[in-house]
Chains A and B, each alone.
Chain A
Amino acid sequence: MKINIPTPLRTYTGGLQTVTVPGATIGEALEQLVGTYPDLRQHLYTGEGKLRSFVNLYLNDDDIRYLPQKEATAASADDELTIIPSIAGGRLPHRQSAPIAPLLVIPWRSGGICFCN
């Protein structure tokens, strides 16, 4: 299955815009994805292994939340999965620093909000 990686997450896929992974279901394909790019895991899943609520996944044109089997939905090599990120930008102030979040775990980029120019 082809997975479209949005700009904010391309940092964790070595800049790749699309990644092709095997998997009989959406869940299996995602597991392959975070297996190959472990830094992605914390961006897609909570510590309990659930998909984060601000991560929207579309199988072709369908929001997987509204598919009867959700992540267990069968997928073929021709299917396309798109990750829709939550982005807030628009009015980018200059010289902004981050609210300092407590250091999470490595991998990095676990910074606070910072919209520098």
Chain B
Amino acid sequence: MAASTLPGIELPKLSNEEIARYSRHLILPEVGMEGQQKLKAAKVLCVGTGGLGAPLALYLAAAGVGTLGLVDFDTVDASNLQRQIIHSTATVGKLKVDSAELMLKGLNPFMNVVKHNTMLTSANALEIFKDYDIIADGTDNFQTRYLVNDACVLSGHKPNAYGSIFRFEGQASVFATEAGPCYRCLYPEPPPPGLVPSCAEGGVLGILPGLVGVIQATEVIKLILGIGETLVGRLLLVDALTMKFRTLKLRKNPDCPVCGTHPTVTALIDYDQFCGIEKPKSVGPLEVAQNKAVADAPVVDGIPQVSVQELKRRLDASEDVFVLDVREPYEVPIASLGVPLIPLGELAKRVDELAAQKDRNIVVHCKSGGRSQKAAQFLKSVGFQHVENLAGGILAWADKIDPTLPKY
């Protein structure tokens, strides 16, 4: 049986109301009164209150974890509600930490919620982590994954209940314990940004983060209670399409730069640089900062950026312009400008279809401007002279030009 993660502290007493609430735990010998008191004493930090963080935090609150910290800087959007069940229609537009607190306190008024309405950074991670026993990583990008891992190791090996999802596939483990491997033992380096799946391969089955987030919550509870076998030293792979679960053995890498025998990373580093991505230019959502940077610049990597207003003006004035959609076919029924489609992934093979347009003014568009920028760069590289990128894509068109167009 694993030892509890909690230090040897005097356990808090349960009130009669709490005893009534946790009755099904109290009559379970593996939890019992002492276990429930351990849960009440525990302090767990959820990094992210999105797809994974939502079920994770809800179940931990229901189970009676005494203090839940929430780290998030985002606000609730309608498109979150397909999977982020800690938020609700009524809290769209509110800060996620406020929205989550409402739901958690509604579920269990006997627990404390500590809100950290901030982006987790190298500057604040250790300070935030120091008040918690266990960290649950439900973030969405490699920079924060490495940051959470390193901060867990550097905070004296705080266990990191890890979960990650992609489309129909999930992973879970417990990293950064003293005896077990850390995230870097498995993934010494992040994939370069160029090899990370793009919009066209994005999306996630809404239920999957529920499945994986609840696995993370299960690991947290086991760590607190000191029961069962945790995922320390194992990686759980979940495939929701085939409903296959598999665990693989993980090893602690003696040469790991963070948790190895001769660590070279002894303080938090610049994780944007480590992951090879551009630093956010302002406080706030990374994607907004980066999006804006592209949209605001008149020319990006040799490709002029045209605004939706300018495109509308040219179309209205019947100027010669050929608009090309480079999204995936399944995106067209959602929203379309009614222009020809060649998905980015097929552009190289199908570029001959554009031979007649070679000398025309071409404006390329996608959902929000990322894929179309790459398409424009490719077209320019194969000799198209007048290629521009529609800044902000069809979403900007829906925002600024045609409000009847749905946003997705």
The chain B residue with its CB closest to the CB of A42 is: B195
Contact call B277/A103, Cβ cutoff below 8 A: no
The chain A residue with its CB closest to the CB of B216 is: A90
- Of the listed stretches B103-111, B285-293, B355-363, chain A binds B285-293
* Chain A min CB distance to B29 (Å): 33
A35 located at the interface, meaning its Cβ lies under 8 Å from any Cβ of chain B in the complex: no
The chain A residue with its CB closest to the CB of B376 is: A103
Could you give 26 example pairs across A and B, Cβ below 8 Å? A6-B169, A52-B191, A87-B164, A88-B140, A90-B50, A90-B138, A90-B139, A90-B209, A91-B50, A91-B52, A91-B74, A93-B287, A95-B395, A96-B285, A96-B286, A99-B277, A101-B192, A103-B377, A103-B378, A112-B277, A113-B277, A114-B370, A114-B371, A115-B287, A116-B367, A116-B368
Contact call A96/B291, Cβ cutoff below 8 A: yes
Contact call B248/A82, Cβ cutoff below 8 A: yes
Q: Which residues in B have their C-beta under 8 angstroms from that of A86? A: 142, 187, 190-191
For the complex of A and B, list the 8 residue pairs with the smallest distance between their C-beta atoms, beginning with the closest: A91-B50, A111-B198, A96-B287, A98-B370, A91-B48, A87-B166, A90-B52, A91-B140
B188 located at the interface, meaning its Cβ lies under 8 Å from any Cβ of chain A in the complex: yes
* Chain A min CB distance to B388 (Å): 14
* Chain A min CB distance to B19 (Å): 35
A109 and B201 in contact, given A63-B250, A87-B171, A90-B50 (Cβ under 8 angstroms): yes
A108 and B348 in contact, given A61-B248, A116-B368 (Cβ under 8 angstroms): yes
Contact call B141/A116, Cβ cutoff below 8 A: no
Contact call B186/A89, Cβ cutoff below 8 A: no
* Chain B min CB distance to A106 (Å): 5
Contact call B199/A90, Cβ cutoff below 8 A: no
* Chain B min CB distance to A46 (Å): 10
A109 and B251 in contact, given A91-B53, A95-B287, A95-B368 (Cβ under 8 angstroms): no
The chain B residue with its CB closest to the CB of A103 is: B377
A interface residues, how many (CB within 8 angstroms): 50
Count chain B CB atoms within 10 A of each CB in A7, A62, A104, A107 and give the residue with the most. Answer: A7
Count chain B CB atoms within 10 A of each CB in A86, A88, A97 and give the residue with the most. Answer: A97
B200 located at the interface, meaning its Cβ lies under 8 Å from any Cβ of chain A in the complex: yes
A111 and B49 in contact, given A90-B164, A91-B139, A116-B368 (Cβ under 8 angstroms): no
Q: Which residues in A have their C-beta under 8 angstroms from that of B126? A: none
Which residues between 337 and 386 of chain B lie within 8 Å of chain A, taking CB atoms? 344-345, 347-348, 367-371, 373-374, 377-378, 381
Which residues between 18 and 64 of chain A lie within 8 Å of chain B, taking CB atoms? 42-43, 52-54, 56, 58, 61-63
Contact call A63/B408, Cβ cutoff below 8 A: no
Bound-complex Cα distance A87 to B239 (A):
13
* Chain B min CB distance to A99 (Å): 4
Please classify the interface of chain A as helix (H, G, I), strand (E, B), loop, or mixed, using the class held by over half of its residues: loop
Contact call A103/B374, Cβ cutoff below 8 A: yes
Instruction: For B194, give its contact among A84, A90, A104 (CB under 8 Å).
Output: A104
The chain B residue with its CB closest to the CB of A56 is: B186
The chain B residue with its CB closest to the CB of A17 is: B242
Instruction: For A116, give its contact among B74, B199, B278 (CB under 8 Å).
Output: B199
Bound-complex Cα distance A42 to B137 (A):
29
Q: Which residues in B have their C-beta under 8 angstroms from that of A112? A: 193-194, 196, 198, 277, 370
* Chain A min CB distance to B298 (Å): 14
Q: Which residues in B have their C-beta under 8 angstroms from that of A100? A: 294, 300-301, 370, 373-374
Bound-complex Cα distance A43 to B381 (A):
23
Contact call A97/B294, Cβ cutoff below 8 A: yes
A72 located at the interface, meaning its Cβ lies under 8 Å from any Cβ of chain B in the complex: no
Known pairs A86-B142, A93-B74, A107-B348. 11 more at Cβ < 8 A?
A8-B169, A8-B201, A54-B187, A90-B163, A91-B49, A92-B204, A95-B287, A100-B373, A103-B378, A104-B194, A116-B368
* Chain B min CB distance to A111 (Å): 3
